[in-house]
Amino acid sequence: MTTEVKQSPRERLLEAAATLTYRDGVGIGVEALCKAAGVSKRSMYQLFESKDELLAASLKERSAAFVARALPPTDDDRSPRERILYVFERVESQAGAPDFQGCRYLAVQIELKDQAHPASQVAHQIKADLTGFFRSEAERGGASDPDLLARQLILVFDGASARAGIGADNLTGLIAPTLTTLLDAAGMH
C-alpha cells in the first residue's frame, strides 16, 4: 500500500501558477489560479503578498528543473563544445512535445514587458545564468570572443524556443548546422 503525500496549499498554488501561466500566459486571473489549486483567495494572499509574488515564486521553483533538463551535469566529460551542443539538443527534443510552448522564462519577460516586475526579474536572472553558462563554456573551449559567442548562443536559444513554441518552425535539422557555423567561426574546440 502506497501513501500519497498531499501537496500543501502553497505547493498547489505554485504548481497551478506554473501550469496555467505556461499554457495561458501571465494574464491568468487569481480566481483561475485559486480554483486550479483548490485554494481560497484568502489563503493565497496569506501565502503570497500578491499574484506577482506567486508568479515569481513559481518561476524560481521551476528553475532547478529547467537547469536539470537543459544543462549537462557539471561533472560530465564532454568538451565545452559538446556541452553547448547538448543544451540545444535538449531544446530540439523538447520542442517536439505537443505541449511545448517555448521557453517559459522568455515568454514571461515578453508578456510582462516590465523589467521591475518580480516574475520578470526571476526570469531575467535565469536567462542571465544560461548566458553565463554559454560564456563559461565558450571561454573554456577557446572561443575568440566568449562574450559575443554567449550572446549569439542565447539569441539562437531564445529564437529557436520562440519559433518552435508558436509552431512557426520545426527545429529538427536546423539547430546543429546553425550552431556548428557559430562555434566554428568562434574557434571553439
Q: For domain 51-186, which architecture applies?
A: Orthogonal Bundle (1.10)
Tell me the per-residue pLDDT of 57-77, one tens digit each, with 9 for 90 and over: 999 999 988 988 899 998 889
The answer to which of 87-91, 96-100, 178-182 has the lowest mean pLDDT is 96-100
Is the pLDDT at 144 greater than 90? The verdict is yes
The three cell numbers of residue 47 are 501565502
- Residue of 38, 20, 18 whose CA lies nearest to 29: 20
| Alpha-carbon torsion angle 90, 91, 92, 94, nearest 10 | 80
Q: What is the pLDDT of residue 104?
A: 92
Task: Tell me the whole-structure pTM to 2 decimals.
Answer: 0.89
Q: What is the pLDDT of residue 148?
A: 97
The three cell numbers of residue 175 are 539547430
Is the pLDDT at 4 greater than 90? The verdict is no
Is the pLDDT at 3 greater than 90? The verdict is no
The answer to whether the CB of 107 falls within 8 A of the CB of 28 is no
Tell me the per-residue pLDDT of 112-141, one tens digit each, with 9 for 90 and over: 988 999 999 999 999 999 999 999 999 999
Is the pLDDT at 7 greater than 90? The verdict is no
Residue 2: which pLDDT band, with cuts at 50, 70 and 90? Answer: low
Q: What is the pLDDT of residue 130?
A: 96
Q: What is the pLDDT of residue 107?
A: 92
Q: What are phi and psi of 99, to 5 degrees?
A: -95, 10
Q: Residue range 33-61: average pLDDT?
A: 95
Longest Cα–Cα distance of the chain, Å, equals: 59
Q: How far is CA 182 from the centre of its chain?
A: 22
Q: Residue range 49-58: average pLDDT?
A: 96
The helix (H) or strand (E) run that includes residue 126 is helix 118-140
- Residue of 131, 133, 116 whose CA lies nearest to 56: 116
Q: How far apart are CA 66 and CA 1, in angstroms?
A: 32
Tell me the CA end-to-end span of the chain in Å, nearest whole number.
53
Q: Interior CA angle at 26 toward 21 and 30, to 5°?
A: 85
Q: Residue range 29-48: average pLDDT?
A: 95
Query: Is the dihedral angle over the CA atoms 82, 83, 86, 91 positive or is it negative?
Result: negative
Average pLDDT, the chain: 93
